Structure 1
Amino acid sequence: MPVLLRSHTLLALVLMSLPMLPALAAETPTPRQIEVQASASIDVAPDRATLNAVLTEATPLVEMGTERDGDTTIKAREQLEKRSTALIKALRKLGIDNDHLHAGNLSVRNEQQLQQHDQNAPLLERMVIERNLDIDISDLTTLPDVIDALFANGIDRLAGIRYDVKDRESVENQALRQALARARQKAELMAETLSVPLGDVTRIQETQSPVFRPMMMAAARSEQADSATYAPGTISVDAGVMVNWSLEASSTNTH
């Protein structure tokens, strides 16, 4: 009997040491809420542009593997520098200052070509020297004149025109506001349709940060250029949000 009593005493102590679990934990009510996702897209007219012009010079073609004349490379580089200087002077006459002109470093590459009508002939090769010039345009009314000046001064390629806006933050904020307004509109519509009073906002999340998609016009070569074709359209900015509202208890519900 003493042994049995001691066992009962130990069991009681063990049970008393266990943590007390909430008896009604499984019965905790789920918060009444409504979750809404919404997006917005706005179109704005660009007010600035960046052009990328390319100047190219090349040495004469020679059979691959033959010794090259170093003077031809020097002459090609000097001619490229001369053309670059003339182009920059022409752009300055249009009112484009140094802060809006960005001349890239020279790039040199080896270019190989097959001889026409004779596939068994040795390959031909030459050195090609290029310089890129980025031009920032803050007044789009001057864009046609700038493009005309580029090709009048013999650029070899217009690598592209990138349209943009000066105040990106303001445009992105506008898209986000419209997405939030759309979310509230949807929530109010659902609550009104279901006769449920809409409560406070409990959670806000961006499902898509404002995405700015500047327009990029296709590249053009000098023989294909036409400044009249470089008319800007609009730029789209998209934003998305998810918002949660609490739902108040209906006044007609007594339970």
Structure 2
Amino acid sequence: MISEKHSFDSCFEVFLADTPESKRIHYNLRYQVYCDEMGYEDKENFPDQMEFDEWDRHSVHFMVRHRYTGQWLGALRLVYQNQAVFPFEAKCVPDQPISAQQYQQSIEISRLCVLREARRFAPRAFPQQDADAEQTAKDSGNIRYLHTIKNQTRSIMWGLYRAAVVYSAQNDIKQWYILVTPSLAYAVKKEGFEMQQVGGACDHRGQRIPYALDVEHILANPLWQKDYRLDYRKYSEVFEQSVAKRQRA
């Protein structure tokens, strides 16, 4: 059992970005990861430091923040089909045609990202900060500490997935499509989630493989019984509450 002190729900919270302000936060998180950290996207294409594309008009956006510092740390989006096509279909061809009903009852999980800064919220084994601590762990062979950093990133990912699957169930979404690296697919499968490969591997920032996941099966995973039970809140509700409190003060 996860200790209450170090559970996801006690340390983090997930928000549905349902306002222009919150979507700007979401896009900036993506910019920090995909442009600054990973170099996947050209910074010159996003002078306002907000990474977005044509699919965002057909998407629902989620993001995670640390409860005690208020720092935003990760994000993902749920992409609805646009004229009977999903983003992953531009990179690889599905083994079987997607039916009209599947298009209507499916979404694609996309743009999952977690800031490197999230690592400093993991329990620390060294006094140095951020990259210095990680390098010290590598130099000393401290596998336990490096494992803790990886688990912290995965925990934020599970929190985002939990919010996404609850939203999906609430909105009659039956299936997810996801285009992921073999290592991420392994991590998801290892946690007990069934993933059906729906196409061959493609080269997109390295090897990527398309999978389909059943929403009902995701919801039934025992992972959610241990933690990640708070689902998500709407950014607009929190913002409105904050404004109301300031007005009463």
Q: Which has the higher helix share?
A: 2
Q: Which has the higher strand share?
A: 1
